[in-house]
Amino acid sequence: MSATASQAITLQSKFSLKEWIFTTDHKRVGVLYLVGSFAAFFVAGIMAMLMRTELASIGPTVTSNPTTYNMWLYFHGAAMILGYQIPALTGFFTNYYVPLMIGAKDVAFPRLNAFSVWLFWMGIVLALLTFVIPDPPDIMWTGYPPYSVITPGNTALYTFTVLLIGFSSIAGGVNFLTTIIRMRAPGITWNKLNIFIWCTMAAFVIQLIFVPILGVAVTMLSLDKYLGTHFFDATAGGTPLLYENLFWFYSHPAVYVIFLPAVGIIYEIVATFSKNRIFNYKGVVYGGIWGTVILSGIVHGHHIYVSAIPDWLVMIQTITTLLISIPVGLLVIGLVGTLYKGSIEFKTPMLYVAGFFFLFLIGGLTGIPNAMSAIYIHIHGTQWITGHFHYVMAVSVTTAIIGGTYYVWPKMTGKMYNEALGKLGFLLFFIGVNITFFFTMYIGVVYGMPRRYYDYAQFPQIEGIQKVITFGSYIILLGALVVLISWIHSLIWGEKAPNNPWGSKSLEWTHTQSPPPQGNYTEPVKVSEDWNPYGYGK
């Protein structure tokens, strides 16, 4: 006991950069992912603020050069998805939680894990080079040819950023699937796994199947641009539709790579803060989570309805896309049902969950029109889509990431945070995102305002609404600053955290200290027959 206690103190007191860079400890690797992904979030967030300010009025506002705006937009999209959301969820939370939740000492391949985080950091550095190289990429995160092939912008930077982060994901997938399958502590059977663990497995199965396809697509893009191949050149026998298909064949499932771990975190918080069992556990796992995985690969066509794909394919994809409502509906019913007869305490993480319920409801339901090919004709490429995916992917997932970070904070840092600051941050964030993204959807569908516009002289009637949207985005910024302040405040002045401040029944809270020592558990974990991570009310 005393030996591990002193190790825990070492983890806290002595800072060595070398130890952090060369660490193979999954908790430190997790923290590296956290820092990297929030760095990406921060820079991409600044881009969002610049863009919103630019759009507050017709004509030049911040910059008179549309190319600069297009670079901001490229960076915002690519960094938010590839640099912030996927690494925060499948890097940080996965690394921090998975071994702790299954009672393992570390991951199956610790050095491969370190390699993953290195690749991710290299990807972040490469992405940041956008701001220093001449002719930065201006091809949006989708990188559609022929534009991405003929642009003076640096498409190779995009290709290599995607490849680095993609390899990082593949290595992570191999590592964590092995860890979950092989390293569960005795007694932790499949049907006693935390929902988050199931979500992580599902997300990595999707990554392992689909990331290589994105890798192929972006590689072919650079081959076309720099080596003169014609994969996507319609005048030489290729077709840009091929790229659109390959890109969305990965990038739609990527939405579930983001959504599933996020909803997994939400499940953990709901169970802990209602001290309640998971409603219909098997229905959630086998219907909701794996149902999503099964459908994920056969719905991408709804992104390209108006790109002239064959009518029979439109018909099939409309139906499969609508069917996504089934597993997602089961996941939401499971969440809502977990509240039933619970004992709900509204600490900051639970507030974020309440926010998630609302934001995801709007985001999920506004996805139904997008599935319908005829409806989609009008809304494709408009701000409706921007508003919809910000609700469903950007902000509801961010409530899971920030709420989840507050949830794991005492375990990770050994410090408590200030509840008042936590709640204030949530409130500002919640108000800001609703103002911003409701009106974003509104101008898209009512006026037909397209996405990716530097200016909108053809829509003078919406300038007032644009100002409201920009105002909303400033409130989000304020909320993000309060969140940051609350974390810094906690690191410096936070009270010492008890081992299980939330009274959770999950292993990471009941069986180890805050923060956990190297090796996680002082003695090998073994759980009894009647143990369950959600075994409340006994």
Partner 1 sequence: MNRKNFFIIAGILLILILRLAASGYADGIPDLRAGWDELWREMMIDILGIGIVFLAVTIYLLVKYRRKSPNEEGSAKKLTPLAAFGWIVIPVFIFMADDIFLAAKNFTLWNQYRNVPANAMVIDVEGFMWGWDFRYPEGITTTNELRVPVGKPVKLNLTSRDVIHSFFIPDFRQKWDAVKGKQNYLWFSAKTIGEHVITCTEFCGVLHSNMYGKIIVMPENEYNKWVEDNKPKGGAI
115-154: contacts with partner 1 (CB under 8 A) = 138-140, 142, 144-147, 150-151
Work out which of 62, 372, 477, 485 binds partner 1, going by CB under 8 A: 372
What is residue 279's three-state secondary structure? coil
Work out which of 53, 63, 178, 325 binds partner 1, going by CB under 8 A: 325
Task: Give the residue among 533, 536, 538, 537 at the shortest CA–CA distance from 187.
Answer: 533
Cβ–Cβ < 8 Å for 433, 359: yes
Work out which of 7, 53, 67, 219 binds partner 1, going by CB under 8 A: 67
66 near partner 1, rule: CB under 8 A: yes
Instruction: Tell me how far, at minimum, the Cβ of 65 lies from partner 1, in Å.
Output: 8
Instruction: Tell me how far, at minimum, the Cβ of 115 lies from partner 1, in Å.
Output: 35
Amino acid identity of residue 184, one-letter, is: R
451 near partner 1, rule: CB under 8 A: yes
374 near partner 1, rule: CB under 8 A: yes
221 near partner 1, rule: CB under 8 A: no
Work out which of 222, 373, 399, 500 binds partner 1, going by CB under 8 A: 373
Amino acid identity of residue 482, one-letter, is: V
Site residues for partner 1, 151-210, by CB under 8 A, read 151
Residue whose structure tokens are 């923060």:
515
Instruction: Tell me how far, at minimum, the Cβ of 433 lies from partner 1, in Å.
Output: 17
Instruction: Tell me how far, at minimum, the Cβ of 166 lies from partner 1, in Å.
Output: 23
361 near partner 1, rule: CB under 8 A: yes
Name the one range near partner 1 by CB under 8 A: 156-164, 189-197, 351-359, 418-426.
351-359
What is residue 17's three-state secondary structure? helix
498 near partner 1, rule: CB under 8 A: no
Instruction: Tell me how far, at minimum, the Cβ of 66 lies from partner 1, in Å.
Output: 5
In whole angstroms, what is the distance from residue 142 CA to residue 76 CA? 12
In whole angstroms, what is the distance from residue 218 CA to residue 246 CA? 9
Amino acid identity of residue 232, one-letter, is: F
CB-facing half-sphere around the CA of 342: CA atoms within 13 A: 23
Site track 81-120 with partner 1 (rule: CB under 8 A), x = hit:
----------------------------------------
Print the SS3 string covering 88-123: HHHHHHHHHHHHHHCCCCCCCCHHHHHHHHHHHHHH
Instruction: Tell me how far, at minimum, the Cβ of 462 lies from partner 1, in Å.
Output: 11
Work out which of 5, 9, 336, 481 binds partner 1, going by CB under 8 A: 336
CB-facing half-sphere around the CA of 354: CA atoms within 13 A: 15
CB neighbours (10 Å) of residue 66?
A: 14
In whole angstroms, what is the distance from residue 537 CA to residue 516 CA? 27
Cβ–Cβ < 8 Å for 506, 101: yes
Work out which of 455, 501, 510, 518 binds partner 1, going by CB under 8 A: 455
Instruction: Tell me how far, at minimum, the Cβ of 148 lies from partner 1, in Å.
Output: 9
What is residue 517's three-state secondary structure? coil
216 near partner 1, rule: CB under 8 A: no
In whole angstroms, what is the distance from residue 51 CA to residue 46 CA? 9
Choice between 438 and 536, CB closer to partner 1: 536
Amino acid identity of residue 383, one-letter, is: Q
Choice between 164 and 195, CB closer to partner 1: 195
Work out which of 319, 481, 484, 488 binds partner 1, going by CB under 8 A: 319
Work out which of 46, 313, 323, 416 binds partner 1, going by CB under 8 A: 323
In whole angstroms, what is the distance from residue 77 CA to residue 43 CA? 11
User: Partners of 450 in the beta sheet?
Assistant: 382
In whole angstroms, what is the distance from residue 490 CA to residue 409 CA? 9
At a CB cut-off of 8 Å and minimum separation 6, what does 357 contact? 335, 336
501 near partner 1, rule: CB under 8 A: no
Choice between 90 and 434, CB closer to partner 1: 434
Work out which of 37, 70, 348, 512 binds partner 1, going by CB under 8 A: 70
Choice between 145 and 261, CB closer to partner 1: 145
User: Partners of 415 in the beta sheet?
Assistant: 496
Site residues for partner 1, 375-404, by CB under 8 A, read 375, 377-378, 380-382
Task: Give the residue among 343, 339, 326 at the shortest CA–CA distance from 283.
Answer: 326
Choice between 29 and 362, CB closer to partner 1: 362
DSSP state of 68: H
In whole angstroms, what is the distance from residue 442 CA to residue 196 CA? 34
Site track 268-307 with partner 1 (rule: CB under 8 A), x = hit:
------xxxx-xx-xx---x------------------xx
Where would I find the beta strands (DSSP E) of 400-494? none
Size, binding site for partner 1 by CB under 8 A? 87
Choice between 306 and 420, CB closer to partner 1: 306
Instruction: Tell me how far, at minimum, the Cβ of 281 lies from partner 1, in Å.
Output: 8
Instruction: Tell me how far, at minimum, the Cβ of 143 lies from partner 1, in Å.
Output: 10
531 near partner 1, rule: CB under 8 A: no
